Amino acid sequence: MFIGESLCLVGLCLHRRRELRDYRRLVAENESLMVKTTPEIKEPYHARLFQWVVVLPTLCDLVGTSLAGIGLVYVDASVWQMLRGSIIIFTGILSKIFLKRPLKISHWIGMVTVMIGLILVGCSSIFTSLSNKTSGGKTLLGILLILGSQIVSAAQMVIEETFLKSRNLHPLHVVGLEGSYGFLLMSFVVLPAMYFIPGADVGNKYENSVDALYQMANSPRLLVLCLLYLSSIAFYNYFGLAVTRSLTAVHRTLIDACRTIMVWVVDMLIYYAFDKNFGEPFEKSYGILQIDGFIFLLIGTAIYNQLLDIRNFVPCWTFSSEELSAVNPSNSNIQDVSCSEDEDDEKTSLLKGRNK
Protein backbone atom coordinates (compact mmCIF):
# COMPACT_ATOMS: atom_id res chain seq x y z
CA MET A 1 0.00 0.00 0.00
CA PHE A 2 2.72 2.46 0.96
CA ILE A 3 4.75 1.64 -2.16
CA GLY A 4 1.71 2.51 -4.25
CA GLU A 5 1.25 5.78 -2.39
CA SER A 6 4.92 6.72 -2.74
CA LEU A 7 4.59 6.52 -6.54
CA CYS A 8 2.56 9.73 -6.33
CA LEU A 9 5.86 11.61 -5.79
CA VAL A 10 6.69 10.79 -9.42
CA GLY A 11 3.40 12.37 -10.45
CA LEU A 12 4.21 15.39 -8.26
CA CYS A 13 7.54 15.92 -10.02
CA LEU A 14 5.86 15.71 -13.43
CA HIS A 15 3.14 18.13 -12.28
CA ARG A 16 5.67 20.67 -11.00
CA ARG A 17 7.71 20.38 -14.16
CA ARG A 18 4.63 21.10 -16.26
CA GLU A 19 3.75 24.14 -14.12
CA LEU A 20 7.26 25.58 -14.47
CA ARG A 21 7.23 24.99 -18.22
CA ASP A 22 3.90 26.80 -18.59
CA TYR A 23 5.14 29.65 -16.37
CA ARG A 24 8.31 30.15 -18.43
CA ARG A 25 6.33 30.01 -21.67
CA LEU A 26 3.95 32.74 -20.47
CA VAL A 27 6.85 34.90 -19.30
CA ALA A 28 8.58 34.54 -22.65
CA GLU A 29 5.39 35.42 -24.54
CA ASN A 30 4.81 38.55 -22.43
CA GLU A 31 8.41 39.67 -22.86
CA SER A 32 8.16 39.27 -26.61
CA LEU A 33 4.92 41.27 -26.72
CA MET A 34 6.32 43.95 -24.36
CA VAL A 35 2.84 45.00 -23.25
CA LYS A 36 2.88 47.00 -20.00
CA THR A 37 -0.79 46.36 -19.26
CA THR A 38 -0.21 42.62 -19.02
CA PRO A 39 -0.83 41.50 -15.45
CA GLU A 40 2.15 40.17 -13.52
CA ILE A 41 2.55 36.43 -13.80
CA LYS A 42 3.22 34.75 -10.47
CA GLU A 43 5.70 31.93 -10.28
CA PRO A 44 4.03 28.69 -9.14
CA TYR A 45 4.48 27.92 -5.44
CA HIS A 46 6.24 24.66 -4.71
CA ALA A 47 6.59 23.66 -1.07
CA ARG A 48 9.77 21.88 -0.04
CA LEU A 49 9.61 18.19 -0.76
CA PHE A 50 10.12 16.81 2.74
CA GLN A 51 7.40 17.80 5.19
CA TRP A 52 7.93 16.07 8.52
CA VAL A 53 4.43 16.95 9.72
CA VAL A 54 3.06 14.37 7.26
CA VAL A 55 4.45 11.66 9.56
CA LEU A 56 1.38 12.18 11.77
CA PRO A 57 -1.24 11.19 9.14
CA THR A 58 1.14 8.42 8.05
CA LEU A 59 0.98 6.88 11.52
CA CYS A 60 -2.81 7.20 11.45
CA ASP A 61 -2.87 5.47 8.06
CA LEU A 62 -0.65 2.66 9.33
CA VAL A 63 -2.69 2.04 12.49
CA GLY A 64 -6.09 2.41 10.77
CA THR A 65 -5.21 0.09 7.89
CA SER A 66 -3.74 -2.51 10.23
CA LEU A 67 -6.83 -2.58 12.47
CA ALA A 68 -9.14 -2.79 9.45
CA GLY A 69 -7.09 -5.60 7.92
CA ILE A 70 -7.18 -7.63 11.13
CA GLY A 71 -10.93 -7.04 11.42
CA LEU A 72 -11.44 -8.31 7.87
CA VAL A 73 -10.16 -11.72 9.00
CA TYR A 74 -13.25 -12.19 11.20
CA VAL A 75 -16.04 -10.73 9.01
CA ASP A 76 -17.18 -10.91 5.37
CA ALA A 77 -15.91 -8.37 2.87
CA SER A 78 -19.37 -6.80 2.39
CA VAL A 79 -19.87 -6.41 6.15
CA TRP A 80 -16.36 -4.97 6.42
CA GLN A 81 -17.12 -2.44 3.69
CA MET A 82 -20.45 -1.43 5.24
CA LEU A 83 -18.93 -0.97 8.69
CA ARG A 84 -16.41 1.37 7.14
CA GLY A 85 -19.34 3.70 6.53
CA SER A 86 -19.08 4.61 10.23
CA ILE A 87 -16.25 6.93 9.27
CA ILE A 88 -18.85 9.57 8.35
CA ILE A 89 -19.88 9.75 12.02
CA PHE A 90 -16.34 10.07 13.34
CA THR A 91 -15.26 12.50 10.63
CA GLY A 92 -18.25 14.76 11.30
CA ILE A 93 -17.63 14.82 15.05
CA LEU A 94 -13.86 15.39 14.70
CA SER A 95 -14.46 18.11 12.10
CA LYS A 96 -16.72 19.90 14.57
CA ILE A 97 -14.22 19.58 17.42
CA PHE A 98 -10.96 20.42 15.64
CA LEU A 99 -12.00 22.29 12.46
CA LYS A 100 -14.88 24.14 14.19
CA ARG A 101 -17.22 23.15 11.38
CA PRO A 102 -20.86 23.56 12.47
CA LEU A 103 -23.17 20.57 12.28
CA LYS A 104 -26.78 21.28 11.41
CA ILE A 105 -29.72 19.16 12.48
CA SER A 106 -29.65 17.35 9.13
CA HIS A 107 -26.07 16.30 9.86
CA TRP A 108 -27.02 14.86 13.24
CA ILE A 109 -30.06 13.05 11.79
CA GLY A 110 -27.87 11.64 9.04
CA MET A 111 -25.28 10.37 11.52
CA VAL A 112 -27.94 8.77 13.73
CA THR A 113 -29.43 7.05 10.67
CA VAL A 114 -26.01 5.77 9.67
CA MET A 115 -25.52 4.47 13.21
CA ILE A 116 -28.79 2.51 12.99
CA GLY A 117 -27.59 0.98 9.72
CA LEU A 118 -24.28 0.00 11.29
CA ILE A 119 -26.07 -1.71 14.19
CA LEU A 120 -28.21 -3.74 11.77
CA VAL A 121 -25.17 -4.76 9.69
CA GLY A 122 -23.26 -5.75 12.82
CA CYS A 123 -26.17 -7.78 14.16
CA SER A 124 -26.60 -9.63 10.85
CA SER A 125 -22.92 -10.59 10.89
CA ILE A 126 -23.03 -11.83 14.49
CA PHE A 127 -26.29 -13.77 13.99
CA THR A 128 -24.92 -15.37 10.81
CA SER A 129 -21.77 -16.52 12.59
CA LEU A 130 -23.83 -18.02 15.41
CA SER A 131 -26.15 -19.83 12.99
CA ASN A 132 -23.11 -21.29 11.21
CA LYS A 133 -21.78 -22.46 14.58
CA THR A 134 -18.74 -20.25 14.37
CA SER A 135 -17.42 -18.00 17.11
CA GLY A 136 -19.61 -14.95 17.57
CA GLY A 137 -16.96 -13.48 19.85
CA LYS A 138 -14.45 -13.31 17.01
CA THR A 139 -17.03 -11.62 14.80
CA LEU A 140 -17.70 -9.05 17.50
CA LEU A 141 -13.94 -8.52 17.87
CA GLY A 142 -13.66 -7.94 14.12
CA ILE A 143 -16.49 -5.38 14.22
CA LEU A 144 -14.85 -3.50 17.10
CA LEU A 145 -11.49 -3.49 15.31
CA ILE A 146 -13.08 -2.10 12.15
CA LEU A 147 -14.88 0.64 14.08
CA GLY A 148 -11.64 1.50 15.85
CA SER A 149 -9.85 1.73 12.52
CA GLN A 150 -12.46 4.18 11.24
CA ILE A 151 -11.89 6.47 14.22
CA VAL A 152 -8.19 6.57 13.36
CA SER A 153 -8.93 7.05 9.64
CA ALA A 154 -11.31 9.91 10.43
CA ALA A 155 -8.53 11.63 12.39
CA GLN A 156 -6.23 11.07 9.42
CA MET A 157 -8.67 12.76 7.03
CA VAL A 158 -9.13 15.77 9.29
CA ILE A 159 -5.34 16.16 9.61
CA GLU A 160 -4.91 15.83 5.85
CA GLU A 161 -7.53 18.50 5.22
CA THR A 162 -5.67 20.83 7.58
CA PHE A 163 -2.38 20.30 5.75
CA LEU A 164 -3.92 20.62 2.30
CA LYS A 165 -5.63 23.92 3.02
CA SER A 166 -3.45 25.63 5.63
CA ARG A 167 -0.07 24.63 4.19
CA ASN A 168 -1.24 24.63 0.55
CA LEU A 169 0.19 21.18 -0.16
CA HIS A 170 -0.70 19.37 -3.36
CA PRO A 171 -2.61 16.07 -2.97
CA LEU A 172 0.16 14.21 -4.81
CA HIS A 173 2.63 15.68 -2.33
CA VAL A 174 0.78 14.48 0.76
CA VAL A 175 0.02 11.00 -0.62
CA GLY A 176 3.59 10.52 -1.84
CA LEU A 177 5.11 11.53 1.49
CA GLU A 178 2.70 9.31 3.41
CA GLY A 179 3.73 6.41 1.21
CA SER A 180 7.45 7.10 1.59
CA TYR A 181 7.31 7.52 5.35
CA GLY A 182 5.02 4.52 5.68
CA PHE A 183 7.35 2.37 3.58
CA LEU A 184 10.29 3.28 5.83
CA LEU A 185 8.29 2.57 8.98
CA MET A 186 7.13 -0.80 7.65
CA SER A 187 10.58 -1.80 6.37
CA PHE A 188 12.67 -0.85 9.40
CA VAL A 189 10.22 -0.97 12.33
CA VAL A 190 6.98 -2.91 11.89
CA LEU A 191 7.92 -5.88 9.70
CA PRO A 192 11.26 -6.58 11.45
CA ALA A 193 9.43 -6.58 14.78
CA MET A 194 6.76 -8.96 13.42
CA TYR A 195 9.49 -11.21 12.01
CA PHE A 196 11.15 -11.76 15.40
CA ILE A 197 7.89 -12.16 17.35
CA PRO A 198 6.91 -15.86 17.69
CA GLY A 199 3.77 -16.89 15.83
CA ALA A 200 2.06 -19.43 13.59
CA ASP A 201 3.58 -18.25 10.29
CA VAL A 202 6.36 -20.08 8.44
CA GLY A 203 9.42 -20.52 10.65
CA ASN A 204 7.38 -19.84 13.80
CA LYS A 205 7.21 -16.16 12.91
CA TYR A 206 4.26 -13.87 13.55
CA GLU A 207 4.74 -12.38 10.05
CA ASN A 208 7.38 -13.89 7.76
CA SER A 209 7.98 -11.16 5.19
CA VAL A 210 10.84 -13.07 3.56
CA ASP A 211 8.51 -15.98 2.81
CA ALA A 212 5.91 -13.52 1.44
CA LEU A 213 8.47 -12.16 -1.05
CA TYR A 214 9.40 -15.72 -1.99
CA GLN A 215 5.76 -16.56 -2.73
CA MET A 216 5.32 -13.49 -4.95
CA ALA A 217 8.53 -14.30 -6.84
CA ASN A 218 7.31 -17.84 -7.58
CA SER A 219 3.70 -17.03 -8.42
CA PRO A 220 3.16 -14.80 -11.50
CA ARG A 221 -0.56 -14.51 -10.76
CA LEU A 222 0.09 -13.32 -7.22
CA LEU A 223 2.73 -10.89 -8.46
CA VAL A 224 0.34 -9.40 -11.04
CA LEU A 225 -2.40 -9.00 -8.41
CA CYS A 226 0.06 -7.24 -6.09
CA LEU A 227 1.11 -4.86 -8.87
CA LEU A 228 -2.52 -4.11 -9.73
CA TYR A 229 -3.25 -3.44 -6.07
CA LEU A 230 -0.18 -1.20 -5.89
CA SER A 231 -1.36 0.97 -8.79
CA SER A 232 -4.97 1.09 -7.56
CA ILE A 233 -3.83 2.35 -4.15
CA ALA A 234 -1.87 5.17 -5.77
CA PHE A 235 -4.85 6.39 -7.81
CA TYR A 236 -7.36 5.83 -5.00
CA ASN A 237 -5.48 7.96 -2.47
CA TYR A 238 -4.74 10.71 -4.98
CA PHE A 239 -8.38 11.00 -6.05
CA GLY A 240 -9.48 10.92 -2.41
CA LEU A 241 -7.19 13.80 -1.45
CA ALA A 242 -8.16 15.73 -4.58
CA VAL A 243 -11.78 15.59 -3.36
CA THR A 244 -10.67 16.66 0.12
CA ARG A 245 -8.80 19.66 -1.28
CA SER A 246 -11.66 20.76 -3.55
CA LEU A 247 -14.47 20.09 -1.06
CA THR A 248 -14.06 18.68 2.47
CA ALA A 249 -13.02 15.52 4.27
CA VAL A 250 -16.70 14.74 4.88
CA HIS A 251 -17.46 14.76 1.15
CA ARG A 252 -14.63 12.30 0.66
CA THR A 253 -16.21 9.89 3.12
CA LEU A 254 -19.61 10.29 1.46
CA ILE A 255 -18.29 9.37 -1.97
CA ASP A 256 -16.21 6.57 -0.49
CA ALA A 257 -19.37 5.07 1.02
CA CYS A 258 -20.69 4.42 -2.49
CA ARG A 259 -18.15 1.60 -2.87
CA THR A 260 -20.18 -0.54 -0.49
CA ILE A 261 -22.75 -1.78 -2.99
CA MET A 262 -20.04 -2.55 -5.55
CA VAL A 263 -18.06 -4.66 -3.08
CA TRP A 264 -21.17 -6.58 -2.04
CA VAL A 265 -22.33 -7.25 -5.61
CA VAL A 266 -18.88 -8.35 -6.80
CA ASP A 267 -18.46 -10.55 -3.72
CA MET A 268 -21.70 -12.44 -4.44
CA LEU A 269 -20.95 -12.54 -8.18
CA ILE A 270 -17.64 -14.28 -7.52
CA TYR A 271 -19.32 -16.83 -5.26
CA TYR A 272 -22.25 -17.75 -7.52
CA ALA A 273 -20.67 -17.29 -10.96
CA PHE A 274 -17.02 -18.33 -10.55
CA ASP A 275 -15.80 -20.16 -7.46
CA LYS A 276 -17.67 -20.98 -4.26
CA ASN A 277 -14.38 -21.12 -2.38
CA PHE A 278 -14.21 -17.34 -2.70
CA GLY A 279 -16.69 -14.52 -2.46
CA GLU A 280 -19.72 -14.46 -0.20
CA PRO A 281 -23.14 -16.15 -0.45
CA PHE A 282 -26.34 -14.34 0.37
CA GLU A 283 -27.45 -15.36 3.86
CA LYS A 284 -31.16 -16.17 3.59
CA SER A 285 -31.81 -16.12 7.33
CA TYR A 286 -30.24 -12.80 8.30
CA GLY A 287 -29.35 -11.30 4.92
CA ILE A 288 -32.42 -9.05 5.15
CA LEU A 289 -30.83 -7.32 8.16
CA GLN A 290 -27.77 -6.57 6.06
CA ILE A 291 -29.96 -5.15 3.28
CA ASP A 292 -31.87 -3.00 5.77
CA GLY A 293 -28.61 -1.82 7.29
CA PHE A 294 -27.26 -0.90 3.87
CA ILE A 295 -30.44 1.07 3.09
CA PHE A 296 -30.11 2.97 6.37
CA LEU A 297 -26.48 3.72 5.50
CA LEU A 298 -27.49 5.16 2.13
CA ILE A 299 -30.36 7.21 3.61
CA GLY A 300 -28.14 8.56 6.39
CA THR A 301 -25.44 9.47 3.90
CA ALA A 302 -27.98 11.26 1.68
CA ILE A 303 -29.46 13.18 4.62
CA TYR A 304 -26.02 14.19 5.85
CA ASN A 305 -25.10 15.52 2.42
CA GLN A 306 -28.56 17.13 2.14
CA LEU A 307 -29.44 15.13 -0.94
CA LEU A 308 -32.64 14.29 0.94
CA ASP A 309 -34.47 17.28 2.43
CA ILE A 310 -35.78 16.32 5.87
CA ARG A 311 -38.36 19.12 5.61
CA ASN A 312 -40.24 16.89 3.19
CA PHE A 313 -40.93 14.54 6.09
CA VAL A 314 -41.11 16.92 9.09
CA PRO A 315 -42.98 20.27 9.17
CA CYS A 316 -40.50 23.07 8.60
CA TRP A 317 -41.76 25.13 11.55
CA THR A 318 -40.10 22.67 13.92
CA PHE A 319 -36.64 23.84 12.83
CA SER A 320 -34.94 27.10 13.71
CA SER A 321 -33.92 29.64 11.11
CA GLU A 322 -30.24 28.88 11.65
CA GLU A 323 -30.79 25.20 10.92
CA LEU A 324 -32.56 26.06 7.68
CA SER A 325 -30.00 28.64 6.54
CA ALA A 326 -28.15 28.20 3.28
CA VAL A 327 -25.30 25.75 3.36
CA ASN A 328 -21.79 27.14 3.03
CA PRO A 329 -20.41 26.22 -0.43
CA SER A 330 -17.20 25.00 1.18
CA ASN A 331 -19.14 22.46 3.20
CA SER A 332 -21.65 21.22 0.68
CA ASN A 333 -22.58 21.40 -2.96
CA ILE A 334 -26.31 21.45 -2.25
CA GLN A 335 -27.89 24.78 -1.31
CA ASP A 336 -30.54 24.84 1.35
CA VAL A 337 -33.76 26.75 0.80
CA SER A 338 -35.44 28.68 3.61
CA CYS A 339 -39.11 28.09 4.17
CA SER A 340 -40.30 31.15 6.07
CA GLU A 341 -43.95 32.12 5.70
CA ASP A 342 -43.07 35.66 4.55
CA GLU A 343 -41.05 34.35 1.61
CA ASP A 344 -43.83 31.91 0.72
CA ASP A 345 -46.36 34.79 0.68
CA GLU A 346 -44.00 36.90 -1.43
CA LYS A 347 -43.48 34.07 -3.93
CA THR A 348 -47.26 33.52 -4.10
CA SER A 349 -47.91 37.19 -4.84
CA LEU A 350 -45.26 37.22 -7.56
CA LEU A 351 -46.78 34.16 -9.19
CA LYS A 352 -50.22 35.78 -9.11
CA GLY A 353 -48.79 38.92 -10.70
CA ARG A 354 -47.22 36.86 -13.49
CA ASN A 355 -50.49 35.02 -14.08
CA LYS A 356 -52.28 38.34 -14.44
Predicted structure pTM score: 0.67
Answer with the residue of higher pLDDT: 245 or 174: 174
Long-range contacts made by residues 182-187, C-beta under 8 angstroms, separation at least 24? 182/1, 182/2, 182/5, 182/6, 182/58, 182/61, 182/62, 183/2, 183/3, 183/6, 185/58, 185/59, 185/62, 186/2, 186/62
What's the farthest any 2 CA atoms get from each other in the chain?
A: 89
Residues 59-78 have a mean pLDDT of 88
pLDDT in tens, 226-277: 888 888 877 776 777 677 667 765 666 566 666 777 777 888 888 888 877 7
Residue range 130-142, pLDDT digits in tens: 776 666 678 888 8
Residue 159 pLDDT > 90, yes or no?
no
H-type helices in 99-135, by residue range?
Answer: 105-131
Q: Is the pLDDT of residue 186 over 70?
A: yes
CB under 8 Å to 94, separation ≥6 — which residues?
154, 155, 158
pLDDT of residue 346: 41
- Write down the mean pLDDT value for the chain: 77
The predicted-structure confidence for 313-350, as pLDDT tens digits, reads as follows 665 445 554 454 434 444 443 333 334 444 444 434 43
The pLDDT, as a whole number, for residue 217 is: 92
pLDDT bucket at 351, cuts 50 / 70 / 90: very low
Work out the pLDDT band at 49, boundaries 50, 70, 90.
confident
**Is 5 a residue whose pLDDT tops 70?**
yes
pLDDT for 224 beyond 80: yes
Taking 80 as the threshold, does the pLDDT of residue 174 lie above it? yes
152 closest CA partner among 98, 234, 87, 209: 87
| Average pLDDT for 19-28 | 86
Closest CA relative to residue 125, chosen from 143, 112, 150, 148: 143
Q: What pLDDT score does 354 carry?
A: 39
Position 87 scores a pLDDT of 82
Q: Please tell me which residue, 189 or 165, carries the higher pLDDT value.
A: 189
pLDDT value for 62:
92
Distances (CA, A) of 219 to 193, 203, 208: 26, 20, 17
Share above pLDDT 70 across residues of the chain, in percent, rounded to a whole number: 77
Asked whether residue 352 carries a pLDDT value surpassing 60, the answer given is no
Q: 77-129, pLDDT tens digit by residue?
A: 778 877 877 887 888 888 888 888 888 888 888 888 888 888 888 787 777 77
